[in-house]
Each structure stands twice: as structure tokens, then as C-alpha cells.
Structure 1
Amino acid sequence: MLFLFNDIHQCWQRFKVGLSIFVVGAVSLFAIGHFSAFFHYASLTILFVGFGYAMLGYIGIFIQRFSFIKNKKPPPKF
């Protein structure tokens, strides 16, 4: 599972794609969600899939930033 979070560029790409899918789901929910129950739930499904994918990328970004801080050497003492 940790192999998903090794490359920061892949994590950013995953976050941006997930955010785009989320926006498509949100726009479709407001634009066509009121026509029928099928469109409403299909839009919600797209929205939640995009949210999950974006959060997978965001968790990778967070882990990369946190490990950078954790592995940073302390300043030398004078």
C-alpha cells in the first residue's frame, strides 16, 4: 500500500485528477441531478469516487511532506 505514496508527482497528479472528477460530479449533480433519481445517484457516485481518488492523492502528499519534516536533520549546535 505504501507504494501508492512514494512519488510526490504521482500523488499530485492523482489529487488533480480526483479533484477534476469531483468537480464534474458536483456540476452534474446541480445541472442534471433533479431530472431523475438515476441522474441524482449517478452524479453522487461520480462525486464520491472523485473525492476518494483526490483524498488518496492528498494522503500521499501529506505523507511525503511529513516524512520530509521527520527526516530533516536538526541544525548544528554552536
Structure 2
Amino acid sequence: MHHHLMQFQKYQLIDPSLTLLLYLRLLHRLQLRLLYLYLLRLFLLQYQRRRLLRLILLLVLPYRMTLLKQLKLRL
């Protein structure tokens, strides 16, 4: 797992979005949900609706706090 974390950090320097894509590859069961959240985030940011995005992040998958924090950090 430590190896994966180092990979995340390396790609984070190149492109922050690549980090999330690497998460997608690891978390197979959550892959579609993560991709949906990722695309939804890009869509909302395009329209500068950050309040709505935060609300959605709080309502969707509230028990996966670490994932939500990762997404919020990139806002």
C-alpha cells in the first residue's frame, strides 16, 4: 500500500486528476461511483457551483469520509 501512496504522490505532481484516476483503478467496486462523482465535480466546477457541489458531497456516500475529503481538497 505504501508503494501505491508513493505512486499517488508522484502523479499528483504531474496532474492532480491522475491521482483520482489511480484511485479508480484500485477501488474496483467503487469505480463507477467515483467516476460519477469526478465527472459531476468537473461539471459543477465549470459552472462555479461550489456550494451545490459541497452539498452533494455531503449527501452522497457520507460514510466514505476519506474519499470525500480527497475530493474536497481539490476544490
Larger radius of gyration: 1
TM-score in terms of structure 1 length:
0.31
TM-score in terms of structure 2 length:
0.31
